[in-house]
Structure 1
Amino acid sequence: MFPMRTAVAAVSALALAGLLAAPADAAPRQTRAEDQVNTFFSQYRDAVLGPNPSTEPGRVRHEFLTTELNNELDAWADSHQADPVFRSQNVPNAWSVRYEGSGAGHSTVVLTEQWAAGDSTDVWYQVRLADLVIDGLQDPPA
Protein backbone atom coordinates (compact mmCIF):
# COMPACT_ATOMS: atom_id res chain seq x y z
CA MET A 1 0.00 0.00 0.00
CA PHE A 2 2.84 2.40 0.79
CA PRO A 3 4.36 2.28 -2.75
CA MET A 4 0.95 3.17 -4.26
CA ARG A 5 0.69 6.30 -2.08
CA THR A 6 4.23 7.27 -3.06
CA ALA A 7 3.39 6.85 -6.76
CA VAL A 8 0.21 8.91 -6.43
CA ALA A 9 2.09 11.63 -4.54
CA ALA A 10 4.82 11.70 -7.20
CA VAL A 11 2.32 11.97 -10.05
CA SER A 12 0.45 14.72 -8.21
CA ALA A 13 3.66 16.64 -7.61
CA LEU A 14 4.63 16.37 -11.29
CA ALA A 15 1.17 17.51 -12.39
CA LEU A 16 1.31 20.51 -10.07
CA ALA A 17 4.75 21.41 -11.35
CA GLY A 18 3.43 21.30 -14.93
CA LEU A 19 5.83 18.54 -15.94
CA LEU A 20 3.18 16.12 -17.17
CA ALA A 21 1.86 16.58 -20.68
CA ALA A 22 -1.57 18.09 -21.08
CA PRO A 23 -4.29 15.79 -22.39
CA ALA A 24 -4.13 15.34 -26.16
CA ASP A 25 -7.42 17.16 -26.65
CA ALA A 26 -6.38 20.22 -24.60
CA ALA A 27 -5.66 23.15 -26.93
CA PRO A 28 -2.90 25.57 -25.96
CA ARG A 29 -4.23 28.87 -24.66
CA GLN A 30 -3.92 31.74 -27.12
CA THR A 31 -3.22 35.34 -26.17
CA ARG A 32 -5.86 37.99 -26.78
CA ALA A 33 -3.71 39.33 -29.63
CA GLU A 34 -3.55 35.89 -31.26
CA ASP A 35 -7.33 35.57 -30.90
CA GLN A 36 -7.82 38.98 -32.52
CA VAL A 37 -5.57 38.21 -35.51
CA ASN A 38 -7.20 34.80 -35.94
CA THR A 39 -10.70 36.32 -35.84
CA PHE A 40 -9.75 39.07 -38.31
CA PHE A 41 -8.13 36.64 -40.74
CA SER A 42 -11.04 34.19 -40.56
CA GLN A 43 -13.63 36.90 -41.19
CA TYR A 44 -11.54 38.50 -43.94
CA ARG A 45 -11.01 35.17 -45.71
CA ASP A 46 -14.73 34.38 -45.47
CA ALA A 47 -15.54 37.83 -46.89
CA VAL A 48 -13.19 37.29 -49.85
CA LEU A 49 -14.64 33.84 -50.56
CA GLY A 50 -18.28 34.52 -49.72
CA PRO A 51 -21.13 36.11 -51.64
CA ASN A 52 -22.58 37.94 -48.62
CA PRO A 53 -22.45 41.71 -49.39
CA SER A 54 -22.67 42.64 -45.70
CA THR A 55 -19.30 41.00 -45.07
CA GLU A 56 -17.18 42.51 -47.81
CA PRO A 57 -13.40 42.50 -47.28
CA GLY A 58 -13.19 46.30 -46.95
CA ARG A 59 -15.74 46.30 -44.16
CA VAL A 60 -13.84 43.60 -42.26
CA ARG A 61 -10.57 45.52 -42.67
CA HIS A 62 -12.25 48.71 -41.44
CA GLU A 63 -13.52 46.91 -38.32
CA PHE A 64 -10.16 45.41 -37.28
CA LEU A 65 -7.43 47.67 -38.72
CA THR A 66 -6.40 51.29 -38.24
CA THR A 67 -7.12 53.78 -41.03
CA GLU A 68 -3.38 54.24 -41.51
CA LEU A 69 -2.82 50.51 -41.96
CA ASN A 70 -5.73 50.27 -44.40
CA ASN A 71 -4.15 53.04 -46.47
CA GLU A 72 -0.78 51.25 -46.41
CA LEU A 73 -2.43 48.00 -47.50
CA ASP A 74 -4.24 49.75 -50.37
CA ALA A 75 -0.90 51.13 -51.57
CA TRP A 76 0.72 47.69 -51.21
CA ALA A 77 -2.07 46.10 -53.27
CA ASP A 78 -1.67 48.71 -56.02
CA SER A 79 2.06 48.16 -56.31
CA HIS A 80 2.01 44.33 -56.01
CA GLN A 81 -1.25 43.50 -57.83
CA ALA A 82 -2.18 41.07 -55.06
CA ASP A 83 -4.36 40.91 -51.99
CA PRO A 84 -2.56 42.91 -49.28
CA VAL A 85 -3.72 40.71 -46.39
CA PHE A 86 -2.97 37.37 -48.06
CA ARG A 87 0.17 38.83 -49.70
CA SER A 88 -0.86 36.80 -52.75
CA GLN A 89 -3.35 36.63 -55.60
CA ASN A 90 -4.69 33.40 -54.11
CA VAL A 91 -6.59 32.57 -50.94
CA PRO A 92 -4.76 30.30 -48.46
CA ASN A 93 -6.28 26.92 -47.61
CA ALA A 94 -5.47 27.10 -43.90
CA TRP A 95 -3.55 29.18 -41.38
CA SER A 96 -2.19 29.21 -37.87
CA VAL A 97 -1.13 31.96 -35.47
CA ARG A 98 1.65 32.18 -32.91
CA TYR A 99 2.62 34.79 -30.36
CA GLU A 100 6.01 36.35 -31.10
CA GLY A 101 6.36 38.83 -28.23
CA SER A 102 5.19 42.11 -26.70
CA GLY A 103 6.63 45.52 -25.99
CA ALA A 104 5.78 49.23 -26.10
CA GLY A 105 2.05 48.52 -25.79
CA HIS A 106 1.92 46.09 -28.72
CA SER A 107 2.01 42.34 -29.33
CA THR A 108 3.46 40.72 -32.39
CA VAL A 109 1.59 37.76 -33.84
CA VAL A 110 2.87 35.69 -36.76
CA LEU A 111 0.17 34.26 -39.01
CA THR A 112 1.34 31.37 -41.17
CA GLU A 113 -0.71 30.84 -44.32
CA GLN A 114 -0.75 27.35 -45.84
CA TRP A 115 -1.21 27.01 -49.59
CA ALA A 116 -2.60 24.23 -51.77
CA ALA A 117 0.86 23.39 -53.13
CA GLY A 118 2.08 22.67 -49.60
CA ASP A 119 4.19 25.79 -49.08
CA SER A 120 3.54 28.47 -46.48
CA THR A 121 3.92 32.22 -46.01
CA ASP A 122 4.44 34.11 -42.74
CA VAL A 123 2.81 37.50 -42.24
CA TRP A 124 3.67 39.54 -39.13
CA TYR A 125 0.87 41.43 -37.37
CA GLN A 126 1.20 44.14 -34.75
CA VAL A 127 -1.72 44.48 -32.33
CA ARG A 128 -2.23 47.41 -29.95
CA LEU A 129 -2.80 45.95 -26.52
CA ALA A 130 -4.99 48.80 -25.27
CA ASP A 131 -7.82 48.15 -27.74
CA LEU A 132 -6.69 45.09 -29.78
CA VAL A 133 -6.74 47.08 -33.01
CA ILE A 134 -4.32 45.77 -35.63
CA ASP A 135 -1.97 48.59 -36.63
CA GLY A 136 0.77 46.68 -38.43
CA LEU A 137 0.89 43.97 -41.08
CA GLN A 138 4.06 43.15 -42.98
CA ASP A 139 6.23 40.49 -44.53
CA PRO A 140 8.68 38.78 -42.16
CA PRO A 141 11.67 40.87 -41.14
CA ALA A 142 14.74 40.19 -43.26
Structure 2
Amino acid sequence: MSTYVSKRTAIAITTTAAAAAAALSLVLVTTASADGAAPRTGQAAAALPSVSGSPEGAFTRIADFYGSYVDAVYDNDGRTADQLRSFYLSKPLQAELKKWEETNHANGVLRAQNVPTQWKVASTGSGAGKTNATVTLTWGGGDTTRIHVQADLKTKKITSITD
Protein backbone atom coordinates (compact mmCIF):
# COMPACT_ATOMS: atom_id res chain seq x y z
CA MET A 1 0.00 0.00 0.00
CA SER A 2 2.89 2.31 0.73
CA THR A 3 4.20 1.86 -2.82
CA TYR A 4 0.74 2.71 -4.22
CA VAL A 5 0.54 5.93 -2.18
CA SER A 6 4.06 6.91 -3.22
CA LYS A 7 3.31 6.38 -6.91
CA ARG A 8 0.04 8.29 -6.59
CA THR A 9 1.83 11.14 -4.81
CA ALA A 10 4.56 11.23 -7.44
CA ILE A 11 1.96 11.28 -10.24
CA ALA A 12 0.04 14.08 -8.47
CA ILE A 13 3.19 16.19 -8.04
CA THR A 14 4.23 15.62 -11.67
CA THR A 15 0.72 16.45 -12.91
CA THR A 16 0.54 19.59 -10.78
CA ALA A 17 3.95 20.78 -11.98
CA ALA A 18 3.02 20.13 -15.61
CA ALA A 19 -0.28 21.98 -15.20
CA ALA A 20 1.47 24.95 -13.58
CA ALA A 21 4.04 25.10 -16.39
CA ALA A 22 1.29 24.91 -19.01
CA ALA A 23 -0.69 27.67 -17.29
CA LEU A 24 2.39 29.89 -17.11
CA SER A 25 3.11 29.28 -20.79
CA LEU A 26 -0.49 30.10 -21.66
CA VAL A 27 -0.34 33.35 -19.70
CA LEU A 28 2.88 34.40 -21.40
CA VAL A 29 1.56 33.50 -24.86
CA THR A 30 -1.91 35.00 -24.56
CA THR A 31 -1.22 38.14 -22.51
CA ALA A 32 -1.11 41.28 -24.65
CA SER A 33 -1.32 44.96 -23.97
CA ALA A 34 -4.39 46.98 -24.92
CA ASP A 35 -2.68 48.05 -28.14
CA GLY A 36 -2.22 44.42 -29.21
CA ALA A 37 1.54 44.32 -28.68
CA ALA A 38 3.03 41.14 -27.25
CA PRO A 39 4.28 41.38 -23.68
CA ARG A 40 8.00 41.91 -23.16
CA THR A 41 10.02 39.11 -21.60
CA GLY A 42 9.48 39.14 -17.87
CA GLN A 43 6.46 41.44 -18.14
CA ALA A 44 3.75 40.55 -15.64
CA ALA A 45 0.33 39.63 -16.96
CA ALA A 46 -1.93 42.69 -16.67
CA ALA A 47 -5.70 42.69 -16.70
CA LEU A 48 -7.04 43.28 -20.18
CA PRO A 49 -9.57 46.10 -20.60
CA SER A 50 -13.23 45.24 -20.34
CA VAL A 51 -16.46 47.07 -21.16
CA SER A 52 -19.93 45.86 -20.30
CA GLY A 53 -23.45 47.16 -20.17
CA SER A 54 -27.10 46.39 -20.63
CA PRO A 55 -29.67 47.74 -23.07
CA GLU A 56 -32.07 47.94 -20.12
CA GLY A 57 -30.07 50.54 -18.20
CA ALA A 58 -30.30 54.27 -18.80
CA PHE A 59 -26.77 54.77 -17.42
CA THR A 60 -25.37 52.25 -19.90
CA ARG A 61 -27.15 54.12 -22.68
CA ILE A 62 -25.32 57.32 -21.70
CA ALA A 63 -21.97 55.50 -21.88
CA ASP A 64 -22.91 53.79 -25.15
CA PHE A 65 -23.93 57.10 -26.67
CA TYR A 66 -20.78 58.98 -25.70
CA GLY A 67 -18.49 56.16 -26.82
CA SER A 68 -20.19 55.86 -30.21
CA TYR A 69 -20.68 59.59 -30.68
CA VAL A 70 -17.03 60.46 -29.99
CA ASP A 71 -16.00 57.74 -32.46
CA ALA A 72 -18.33 59.11 -35.16
CA VAL A 73 -17.18 62.71 -34.69
CA TYR A 74 -13.54 61.62 -34.54
CA ASP A 75 -14.02 59.73 -37.83
CA ASN A 76 -15.73 62.81 -39.31
CA ASP A 77 -18.89 60.75 -39.92
CA GLY A 78 -21.63 63.35 -39.59
CA ARG A 79 -24.36 61.00 -40.78
CA THR A 80 -23.66 58.48 -38.01
CA ALA A 81 -23.35 61.25 -35.42
CA ASP A 82 -26.77 62.60 -36.46
CA GLN A 83 -28.30 59.11 -36.30
CA LEU A 84 -26.87 58.58 -32.82
CA ARG A 85 -28.34 61.90 -31.66
CA SER A 86 -31.70 60.95 -33.12
CA PHE A 87 -31.71 57.56 -31.36
CA TYR A 88 -30.24 58.41 -27.94
CA LEU A 89 -31.39 62.00 -27.31
CA SER A 90 -34.92 63.12 -26.45
CA LYS A 91 -36.62 65.38 -29.01
CA PRO A 92 -36.64 68.39 -26.64
CA LEU A 93 -32.90 67.95 -25.99
CA GLN A 94 -32.19 67.73 -29.72
CA ALA A 95 -33.93 71.08 -30.22
CA GLU A 96 -32.13 72.61 -27.21
CA LEU A 97 -28.75 71.46 -28.54
CA LYS A 98 -29.46 72.93 -31.96
CA LYS A 99 -30.06 76.36 -30.38
CA TRP A 100 -27.01 76.00 -28.12
CA GLU A 101 -24.82 75.13 -31.11
CA GLU A 102 -26.06 78.12 -33.15
CA THR A 103 -25.28 80.43 -30.25
CA ASN A 104 -21.94 78.92 -29.25
CA HIS A 105 -20.60 77.72 -32.64
CA ALA A 106 -19.55 74.42 -31.04
CA ASN A 107 -20.76 70.85 -30.68
CA GLY A 108 -23.41 70.81 -27.96
CA VAL A 109 -22.94 67.16 -27.04
CA LEU A 110 -19.21 67.65 -26.46
CA ARG A 111 -19.46 71.31 -25.47
CA ALA A 112 -16.43 72.00 -27.68
CA GLN A 113 -15.29 72.73 -31.21
CA ASN A 114 -12.85 69.83 -31.35
CA VAL A 115 -12.94 66.11 -30.55
CA PRO A 116 -11.69 64.58 -27.30
CA THR A 117 -9.00 61.92 -27.35
CA GLN A 118 -10.62 60.02 -24.47
CA TRP A 119 -13.92 59.85 -22.62
CA LYS A 120 -15.11 58.41 -19.34
CA VAL A 121 -18.66 58.13 -18.00
CA ALA A 122 -19.25 57.87 -14.24
CA SER A 123 -22.60 57.40 -12.54
CA THR A 124 -23.59 60.08 -10.06
CA GLY A 125 -26.76 58.30 -8.93
CA SER A 126 -30.41 57.95 -9.79
CA GLY A 127 -33.62 59.32 -8.38
CA ALA A 128 -36.98 60.81 -9.30
CA GLY A 129 -37.12 58.71 -12.47
CA LYS A 130 -33.76 59.96 -13.78
CA THR A 131 -30.20 58.66 -13.81
CA ASN A 132 -27.29 61.06 -13.67
CA ALA A 133 -23.73 60.80 -14.94
CA THR A 134 -20.62 62.88 -15.30
CA VAL A 135 -18.83 62.58 -18.62
CA THR A 136 -15.15 63.46 -18.45
CA LEU A 137 -13.61 64.37 -21.80
CA THR A 138 -9.83 64.41 -22.19
CA TRP A 139 -8.36 66.61 -24.88
CA GLY A 140 -5.12 66.35 -26.86
CA GLY A 141 -3.08 68.38 -24.39
CA GLY A 142 -4.30 66.35 -21.43
CA ASP A 143 -6.84 68.93 -20.23
CA THR A 144 -10.23 67.60 -19.16
CA THR A 145 -13.75 68.95 -19.07
CA ARG A 146 -16.75 67.52 -17.29
CA ILE A 147 -20.29 67.42 -18.61
CA HIS A 148 -23.35 66.53 -16.57
CA VAL A 149 -25.77 64.22 -18.36
CA GLN A 150 -29.21 63.04 -17.31
CA ALA A 151 -31.36 60.28 -18.81
CA ASP A 152 -34.94 59.20 -18.20
CA LEU A 153 -35.11 55.80 -16.49
CA LYS A 154 -38.30 54.81 -18.32
CA THR A 155 -37.49 55.85 -21.91
CA LYS A 156 -33.68 55.60 -21.47
CA LYS A 157 -33.38 58.75 -23.61
CA ILE A 158 -30.83 61.39 -22.63
CA THR A 159 -32.81 64.44 -21.54
CA SER A 160 -30.14 66.89 -20.40
CA ILE A 161 -26.53 67.79 -21.19
CA THR A 162 -25.01 70.66 -19.20
CA ASP A 163 -21.57 72.04 -18.38
What TM-score, normalized by structure 1, do the two folds share?
Answer: 0.72
5 Å-filtered alignment, 1:1-142, equals 25=47, 32-50=57-75, 55=80, 57-139=81-163
The one-letter code of the counterpart of 1:62 is S
- Structure 1 residues 94 and 51: CA distance shift in structure 2, 3 A: closer
Shift, 1:113, TM fit: 0.3
What TM-score, normalized by structure 2, do the two folds share?
Answer: 0.63
If you compute each CA radius of gyration, which structure gives the higher value, 1 or 2? 2
- Structure 1 residues 52 and 112: CA distance shift in structure 2, 3 A: closer
State, as a whole percentage, how many aligned pairs show the same letter: 32
Give ranges in structure 2 of 5+ residues lacking alignment: 1-45
User: What count of residue pairs does the alignment treat as equivalent?
Assistant: 115
Shift, 1:49, TM fit: 2.6
Give ranges in structure 1 of 5+ residues lacking alignment: 1-23
- Structure 1 residues 104 and 50: CA distance shift in structure 2, 3 A: same
Shift, 1:41, TM fit: 1.0
- Structure 1 moving runs of 4+ over 4 Å: 26-31, 51-54
Instruction: Provide the alpha-carbon RMSD of the alignment.
Output: 2.3
